[in-house]
Each structure stands twice: as structure tokens, then as C-alpha cells.
Structure 1
Amino acid sequence: MIVFPNCKINLGLHITRKRPDGFHDLETVFYPLPVTDALEVLSDSTALQFESSGIAVPGNTADNLCVKAFHLLQQDFPALPLVNIHLLKNIPIGAGLGGGSSDAAFMLQLLNQKFQLGIGEAALVDYAARLGSDCPFFIVNKPCYATGRGEIMETVALDLSGYSFLLVHPGIHVNTGWAFQQLTPKAATYSLRELIGQPVETWKGIMTNDFEAPVFQAHPVLAEIKEEMYKGGAVYATMSGSGSAVLGIFPKNKIADILWDASYRVFTIR
């Protein structure tokens, strides 16, 4: 069985409070985009196996979120058959696009469907939250206004199909833990839930990502990419999550023909 975990972007991101448990409260709007990995699971295995291709996946196999997702379900479903997992990695890592979180959430859903475990959406969201703060979004996988660690979600009527998207990743890996350490949490001065109801053309200069200031200071090329998008006609541009992918929203089928460095990974969604 094969599924295609997609990425997400953040439309605005405010870090509002550091919690007693060490996590942070945030406010953001998650929006799914069709840049995908491919995740395949085969049963009839004598041992749990994981392999990957495409972009190199760092770390030990035991720490991979797909493997952790399997073990998490196995705790409650001990008869869960062992499987072979193959991940074709295409979503850039450390880019603020939620690729690993998406893989984990899709793994939960794949196992639930393949082995008819009967787990409802609310329970899948709970499992996903135990794997990572962004994981629950990919169970819902619709535009959402999110608070808490990102797991408190409210679907919103946000349809950006009338626009085209440009994602640029220059190969920089931003450590999320480091990025959080650069911030001083503060209450937002406006509500993202209200702002996304306004025309996209009004977002520039108002909708912000708190991570941009420290990450752009550490990696000035990201600010340059964002500026190039505005010069090329983007109606709104932002860094996604804690970076380092930069997103531009353009009028439909009017993505600028910008000459990017050959080492950059560039995705267009028309």
C-alpha cells in the first residue's frame, strides 16, 4: 500500500508563550500543498524494516517518525503485523514544511486503513500529537487555524486555488530548537484567524512569522529570496515555519521566471 504525504506551509506564525512543560504556545494557519513524499508499506515481513531513498534521511532508523508511529500503534494493537517500510523522501528536511511530521501522520493512517484497526479521526489526532507538534495537522490535512502546540485546530474556509505558489529551499537546515531559543514569546497584536479572511493582497506587511527576524539574521540569503519573490510579482511571501523554505503566492499562472541558484530546490504549484 502506498500513500503520498504532502507538505504544509504556515501563513503567519506567532509564538505567544513558553509553557511550564518546555513547549511553546503558538498561533498559526496551516495550509496543505501538494509537494509530496511517497510512503510504501508491505506486510508479510518477519521483522520491522525501514529503508529510504531520495533525500538522505539523517539519524538512526529507530528514531525515524514512521518507525515510531508503528511502535506507537503496536502498543495498543499488539497483533499489528510487522511490515517493510520504504520512504521516498522529496520534501526538503529542516525546511519548515513538516515533511517528517507528514510522513508520521500518513503512516498512522496507512496502518489504520491497511489493517482495519478502526481508529477514528480524533484518536488518530491524539496518536499524532504524541509523535510531534505538527503531526496532528496532517490527520486533518485541511486549512486550519491552530493554537496550543499546534494540535488545537479549527478548520477554516480558506481556498487559495485561485493563486499559484512558489517554494524555494536553498539547502539551509534550520534547527527548530535553536530557532525557538532566539525568540521572546509575546502576545500577538492581531488575530490570524481574522486576517486570513481578508484578501491575500492585504497580507503583505501585516501577516508575520516571528521566526523570520532571527533566522534571516543568521541566513541573509533567505531574506534575499523573499525580496526576489516580491520583485517578481508575489502578492505575499513568507518563510514557512522555523525555516528555511520561502513561499511566494502569485496571481494564478503568473509565477515570475526568476533565475535561482542551481543548488536550490524549487517547487511550483500552479
Structure 2
Amino acid sequence: MICFPNAKINIGLNVINKRQDGYHELETIFYPVKIKDALEIIEAPEMKFESSGINIPGDSNNNLCIKAYNLLRADFDLPNIHIHLHKHIPIGAGLGGGSSDATFFIKLVNDKFNLGMDKEVMKNYCSKLGADCAFFLENRPVFATGIGDVFDEVEVDLSGYHVVLVKPPVHVATAEAYKNVVPQEPINSLKSLVRLPVEDWNCNIKNDFEPHIINSYPQIRMVKANMLDIGAVFALMSGSGSSVFGIFNEKPDLSKFEEDFDVFYDI
């Protein structure tokens, strides 16, 4: 059985304060996009995980799909399975690829082995794997608060625009992004700002991670500046970086980046 976990972008991100438990309160808009991995599971004599496509660094036992399997197997009589993940969503890009893989894995196992989990039960497992994992259960735009795990409906529709994404060849660790951010209460909530015309977003919607990240990684700054120079009505780094998305009225020419950067059109 196979499925295709998709990515998301963050339309704005405000880091509001740091809690006593070390986590940060934030607000952001999660918006699903069409960049996808491919995830397949089959019953097998032995438990096995393998990947193709983009290289996944680190020990495969720490992959969120394996962690999801172990969580489920503690509560359900699951057989050994062979997991194959073809990685296409860039890693360390602020696109939620790992979270999406884990959530789609839970849904895939639920369907294949008839576990009977409803969305609330699956949400409970997702919450143990990552704050944003549960977003991919519904996979529609949401206003996210808390640590990125409390969702409220929001109306955002970019289907009338050309949305493109560029991922420079740099990796930004989430811990690095949070280490240098200065929490502050926003004057206006993203939930109200996103209702403005997209053409007004540049002056009102920001990403609190962006200023210090683009200072550390000039390639990210260059990508954003180039998008705005060639006519983006809005451009922003997604999440903790390092990808940058741009919203255009007409499909742009980003061929100058295609040799060395990952470029995705009409996401």
C-alpha cells in the first residue's frame, strides 16, 4: 500500500513567548502544498526501513515513521513491515516533510491493517511525534497557536496565484532557529492579517526566524530578494527555513537557480 505525504508552508510566523518548559508559544498559518514524498508499506518477514531520493541523515531508527510504528505496535498487534520512503520534500527546509511522513504512515497503517482508529485517536499518536504532525490529518489551511499544535480554521486560498518555492543548499536546524529568536507579542494577529489582500502581506506578515537566519545564510536572503525583484507580490522564508516561497501573478522564471538549488513551480 502506498501514499504520498505532502509538504506545507508557513504563511507568517510569530514567536510570542518562551514557556517555563522550554517550548515557545507561537502563531502561524499552515498551508498545504503539492510537493510530495512517496511512502510504501508491505508485510515482511523482518522489520525493515529503507529510503531513496534525497539522502536522509542520521540513524534510520530515529526516523519518524519508525517511531510511529513503535508507538502503534505498543497498542496494536502489528506484523513486521517493510517501509520504503522515497524522499522528495527537501529536508531542513521548514516544509514539515518528516511530520507529514509520520502522519501519513499512521493513516496508512490504520487503513492497511484495519485498526479502526478515528481522527481523534490518530491525533493523539501524532501529538507524541511532533507539534505539527496532526495538521496533516486534515491537510487544509489552519491558524496554528500553542507550540504549533492548536488549530483553528482560517480561509486562505492561493489557487489563483503561481506559488513557487526555492530551497538553497543549506540546512537550518530548528534548534538553531529558536536559539536566536527574540519572542515578542505581535501587534496584530496573523489570523486577521491573512485576510488582507495578498498584495498587502509584504508590509504586514513576517517570520520572526527570518531576520537572523538570513543573516547567517546569505543564499536565503538572495533568493527572497530575487523573488521580490522579479515581481513576487509576497515572499517569505517558510518556518525555520531554509526554503523561501514566492507568490506571483504570473509564472516567474527562476532558471538561474535551477542548477544549484531545488526549485518547485506551482506548488
TM-score range (shorter-chain normalised) is over 0.9
Q: Quick one: distance in 2 between partners of 1:206 and 1:269?
A: 24
Deviations 1:56-115 (A, max 9, x none): 0111121000000111111111x1121100000011100101111110110011111111
Match of 2:95 among 94, 97, 101: 97
Partner of 2:252: 255
What is the Cα deviation at residue 257 of structure 1?
4.5
Q: Quick one: distance in 2 between partners of 1:121 and 1:198?
A: 32
Alpha-carbon spacing, 1:257–1:59, altered in 2? closer, same or farther (3 Å): closer
Q: Quick one: distance in 1 between partners of 2:230 and 2:121?
A: 44
Which AA in structure 1 matches 2:51? S
Say if 1:165 and 1:255, in contact at 8 Å, map to a contact too.
Answer: no
Q: Quick one: distance in 2 between partners of 1:257 and 1:238?
A: 16
Moved more, 205-214 or 15-24: 15-24
Say if 1:37 and 1:91, in contact at 8 Å, map to a contact too.
Answer: yes
Partner of 1:85: 83
Aligned length: 267
Deviations 1:186-225 (A, max 9, x none): 1111111111111111101210000001101101221111
Partner of 1:156: 154
Q: Quick one: distance in 1 between partners of 2:100 and 2:133?
A: 6
What are the residue-to-residue correspondences of 1:25-104 with 2, within 5 Å? Answer: 25-43=25-43, 45-77=44-76, 79-104=77-102
3-state SS, counterpart of residue 56 of structure 2 = coil
Match of 1:122 among 117, 120, 123: 120
Q: TM-score under structure 1 normalisation?
A: 0.96
What is the Cα deviation at residue 228 of structure 1?
0.5
Partner of 2:9: 9
Which AA in structure 2 matches 1:32? P
Say if 1:232 and 1:258, in contact at 8 Å, map to a contact too.
Answer: no
Q: Quick one: distance in 1 between partners of 2:9 and 2:150?
A: 17
Partner of 1:209: 207
Q: TM-score under structure 2 normalisation?
A: 0.97
Can you give the 5+ residue segments of structure 2 that lack an aligned partner in the other structure? none
Partner of 1:218: 216
Which AA in structure 2 matches 1:172? V
What is the Cα deviation at residue 134 of structure 1?
1.8
What is the Cα deviation at residue 255 of structure 1?
2.1
Q: Does 1:228 align with 2:234?
A: no
Which AA in structure 2 matches 1:96? G
What is the Cα deviation at residue 258 of structure 1?
4.8
What is the Cα deviation at residue 232 of structure 1?
1.1
What are the residue-to-residue correspondences of 1:175-214 with 2, within 5 Å? Answer: 175-214=173-212
Provide the identity percentage. 48
What is the Cα deviation at residue 155 of structure 1?
2.1
What is the Cα deviation at residue 256 of structure 1?
3.5
Say if 1:3 and 1:40, in contact at 8 Å, map to a contact too.
Answer: yes
What is the Cα deviation at residue 261 of structure 1?
5.7
3-state SS, counterpart of residue 40 of structure 1 = strand
Alpha-carbon spacing, 1:19–1:54, altered in 2? closer, same or farther (3 Å): same
Deviations 1:9-44 (A, max 9, x none): 00000111111221111100000000000000011x
Q: Quick one: distance in 2 between partners of 1:185 and 1:191?
A: 14
Q: Quick one: distance in 1 between partners of 2:58 and 2:41?
A: 20
Q: Quick one: distance in 1 between partners of 2:146 and 2:122?
A: 18
3-state SS, counterpart of residue 238 of structure 1 = strand
What is the Cα deviation at residue 136 of structure 1?
1.3
Which AA in structure 1 matches 2:169? G
Which AA in structure 1 matches 2:17? R
